[in-house]
Amino acid sequence: MNLILFGPPGAGKGTQAKHLVKKLDNFQISTGDMLREEIQKDSEIGKKIINDMNDGKFINDEIVNKLIENVIFDPKKKNKLIFDGYPRSLSQAKNLNLLLDSSNQKIDFIFFLNVNKETIINRIEKRKILEKRLDDDVNTILRRYDTYMETTRPVLDFYSKNPNFYEIDGTLKIDEITNKIDAFINV
Ligand code: AMP
State pLDDT tens for residues 9-63. Answer: 889 999 999 999 999 999 999 999 999 999 999 999 999 999 999 988 899 999 9
Q: What is the mean pLDDT of residues 76-82?
A: 98
The pairing of strands 109-114 and 3-6 is parallel
CATH class of 3-185: alpha beta
Q: Where are the domains of the chain?
A: 3-185
**Is the CB–ligand 1 distance for residue 14 below 6 Å?**
no
Q: Compute CA distances 84 → 5, 8, 30, 103, 140, whole Å.
A: 5, 11, 5, 19, 19
128 alpha carbon – ligand 1 mean position (Å)? 16
How many CB atoms are located within 10 Å of the residue 77 CB? 18
**Is the CB–ligand 1 distance for residue 13 below 6 Å?**
no
C-alpha 28/C-alpha 64 separation (Å) is 15
Is the CB of residue 89 less than 8 Å from the CB of residue 155? yes
The amino acid occupying position 72 is: I
Give the predicted TM-score (pTM) of the model.
0.91
152 alpha carbon – ligand 1 mean position (Å)? 11
33 alpha carbon – ligand 1 mean position (Å)? 8
Angle made by CA atoms 96, 160, 121, in degrees to the nearest 5: 90
Is the CB of residue 184 less than 8 Å from the CB of residue 112? no
Atom from ligand 1 closest to the CA of residue 92: 19
pLDDT at 128 over 90: no
**Is the CB–ligand 1 distance for residue 31 below 6 Å?**
yes
35 alpha carbon – ligand 1 mean position (Å)? 8
**Is the CB–ligand 1 distance for residue 12 below 6 Å?**
no
Out of 16, 35, 54, 132, mutate this one to test ligand 1's pocket (max ligand atoms within 8 Å of CB): namely: 35
Q: Would you call 51 helix, strand, or coil by DSSP?
A: helix
pLDDT at 120 over 80: yes
How many CB atoms are located within 10 Å of the residue 85 CB? 23
**Is the CB–ligand 1 distance for residue 36 below 6 Å?**
no
Runs of H (alpha helix) within 111-173: 117-131, 138-147, 153-160
Give the pLDDT band (50/70/90) at residue 86. Answer: very high
